[in-house]
Chains A and B, each alone.
Chain A
Amino acid sequence: MSVLSIVVWIIAYPLIIFCIGVLLGGYERKFSARVERRIGPSWIQPFYDVIKLMSKKTNVSHGYMHDVAILMLLGGTMLTLYFVPVPGFSYFSQFGDFLVISYLLLIPSLGMALGVGETANPNGSIGISRALQMLAGYEVPFILTFIGVAMKEQTTSMLDIIRVQQAGGFWAWGLIAHPLLGVAALIALQGMLNEKPFEVIVAPHEIATGPMTEMGGKYLGIMFIQHLIAVPLELTLYINLFLGGASNWLEYLVKLFVLWTALISVNMVFGRFRVDSAVKFMWKISLPLAALGVIGIMLNIA
């Protein structure tokens, strides 16, 4: 890969993922509207929302750490993005495997915790404490599923894992080859994306949108942008580990939208857990499934 193309990709990649995030966000709103017997907004409504928020004048700040932490939230997500391979761009993946990604994935959560904690709004603080509890809930099974995949494929490189799956065809996809790990990761992914029944962090009726309560204007705009990048990022992680990755952008987008449809369908028909129930569910269902999957791989039966 030439230096010029790397530079172009560094600039273009987050923008492309952001655009995909906008489409996924718009699709979610359109999809949920149809289920709810509404027409719903435009497909690119999230883009309009971001433009509106980012064009607002900032009149109130909660201090230096608040401002920095919000950038940490977005920066951490964008940094993680570079290590997740997509068709045509996997340059940085050779320098960082899944372990790097799992470390980097923590940065946005910590950034949000620092920034929201600085506002000292109790709704925000409760939201953050819930976010960290949920992190403990979904992170362990998700990491464990990766350990299982890594043990099976004898590599921690996401690129190699994709190659193995693509070489073996459909039956080599992670979800088919080791279904326990695939299902465990899928449940963890639902929590990671803060979709119901694990939508405990925002929970408008309980804590008035939690971390977002004290955010407005550009701060909220940055949170929106981060969310719009984080959604395709986390879905791509799952696609790469369990759905055979993608060899071209069409395949990638199809897998992205199919997976997203499955997750938001669950989101539409469930209420939200209490936070303790959400963590318990992760530890009682997702974690044992992942552990069984790993044991199966150790015993060479899955």
Chain B
Amino acid sequence: MSEKMNIVTVNDGRTLYPGASAPENREYNMFIGPNHPGIEGNFALKLTLEGDTIVQARTDAGYLHRGFEKLMEQRLYMQNIAIVPRICVPDPDPNEENYARAIEAIAHIEVPRRAQFIRVMMLELSRIASHLFAFGGFAGTLGLYTMPNWSISDRDRILELFEALTGARIYHIYIIPGGVRRDLPEGFAQRVKDTLFYIESKLPEYDNLLFENSIIRKRSRGIGVIPPEKAMEWGVTGPNLRAAGFAHDVRIDDPYEVYNELEFDIPIAHESDALARMLVRRKEVEESIRIIRQVLDKMPSGPVWNKQPNPLKWKVPAGDAYVRTESSKGEYAYYMVSNGDVRPYRVHVRGASVTHGVHVLEKLLIGTRIEDASQVMFSLDACPPEVDR
């Protein structure tokens, strides 16, 4: 009896849902996230719908704001190495790469050849891991839950490689100014080759299950189209831009490390829809495997780190640098300013996710039906912590 008395009756008298507008207005509000199976990370979408169709979309970021950029101004250069990978969890290495290269550019530090090859290997492994994650997320939005389990368990094999090399599965803190933290352990190259062979052998299974799945293709074709004429204007980069027909890739256009010594293709598509974006990523996995194999074959012997001064007292000379990397999310850049102190004066992170996950997503969602909102978001493959940075 006492339990019954405590029951609160909500919505008494059948009032409208709190998010609904007046009855004469056919629009109502809906939220996807921050607590929703269809949201990508700590993020939310505030949608206004008419029937099933989205008429207005606002992204709601900030749930993961930890003030990385400001934090970096308070810490020593070496301490920041542990902060930067946290800016993008699925693909952390481009952050380490950019941060290290920015310091190297300002301080004119030369990186040993072997370290450059190792860095490329790390970046490409990270790209594959990130794409595998994206395949799973995208398939999940369309109800194909077998795919996330497969691709994320395969991604785990790459995380095991990271663990063997760096001691950490996600935040490697491995690429440091002047090179990399340690050399490859014995037998590691063979482990990488075996893992690549395994992942390559799984790609036809992915094709059968996801990329050639008639229902998936039907549902994602023509959805979330980025108009090619608008792609540049909107600042789209990476696989999302290449799916719109532009063969733009920082690894080719502005090569860093040893990418100019390696042979690889830039997969592109022209449809610019959700399916095309995922297919470009699918082909990029093959290209990354190709790159890593070349790296392992061509990797010279030698030191992996150009030793730097005592990190507690290290003052990077005054100057500034803008460096960019092709990450799995798109073009990833750091602008660093040093005033000659032991701490950076300013580190600005230009991630691809603000563009894709906020501005482009808000545009693409208008006119999209509610059932496709999640797949459009996952097809852009943004990274919420990177939006908040």
Closest B residue, CB atoms, query A57: B3
Residue B55, interface by CB 8 Å: no
Of residues B143, B153, B219, B375, which shows the largest number of chain A Cβ atoms within 10 Å of its Cβ? B143
Question: B366-387 CB contact bits vs A (8 Å, 1 = yes)?
Answer: 0001111111000000000000
Contact string against B for A residues 279-300, beta-carbon threshold 8 Å, 1 for contact and 0 otherwise: 0000000000000000000000
Q: Convert A28-54 into 0s and 1s, putting 1 for each residue whose CB lies closer than 8 angstroms to a CB of B.
A: 000010011110000000000000000
Contact A206 to B370, CB < 8 A, known contacts A271-B143, A272-B142: yes
Mask for B137-163, Cβ within 8 A of A = 1, else 0?
001111111100110010000000000
Is there contact, CB below 8 Å, between A274 and B369?
A: yes
Stretch from A7-15, A121-129, A153-161 forming part of the interface with B: A121-129
Q: How far is the CA of A297 from the CA of B126 in the complex (A)?
A: 61
Residues of A near B70 (CB, < 8 A) are none
Contact A205 B37 (CB under 8 A): yes
Give, as a whole number of angstroms, the nearest-CB distance from B152 to chain A: 10
Q: Is the CB–CB distance between B215 and A197 below 8 Å?
A: yes
Interface of A is mostly: loop
Q: Provide the bound-state CA to CA distance between A272 and B293, in Å.
A: 37
Q: How many residues of B contact A (CB 8 A)?
A: 46
| A275 within 8 Å of B (CB atoms) | yes
Tell me the smallest distance from the CB of B159 to a CB of chain A, in Å. 15
**In the docked arrangement, what's the CA distance between A119 and B11, Å?**
7
A271 contacts B213, C-beta separation under 8 Å: yes
A248 within 8 A of B: no
Contacts of A274 in B (CB 8 A): 219, 369, 371-372
B30 closest partner in A (C-beta): A122
List B residues at the A interface (Cβ < 8 Å): 3, 6-12, 14-17, 19-20, 28, 30, 32, 36-38, 49, 52, 139-146, 149-150, 153, 209, 213, 215-216, 218-219, 369-375
* 8 pairs of A and B residues whose beta carbons are closest in the complex: A272-B143, A36-B149, A205-B38, A271-B142, A204-B37, A271-B144, A206-B371, A205-B141
What are 10 residue pairs bridging A and B, where the CB atoms are less than 8 Å apart in the complex? A36-B149, A57-B3, A58-B7, A122-B49, A203-B143, A204-B38, A206-B374, A207-B370, A270-B144, A273-B215
Q: Chain A: residues with CB nearer than 8 A to chain B?
A: 32, 35-38, 57-63, 118-123, 126, 196-197, 199-200, 203-209, 268-275, 277
Given contacts A36-B149, A207-B370, A271-B144, 8 further A-B contacts (CB under 8 A): A32-B145, A36-B145, A36-B150, A38-B149, A119-B11, A205-B143, A209-B37, A269-B146
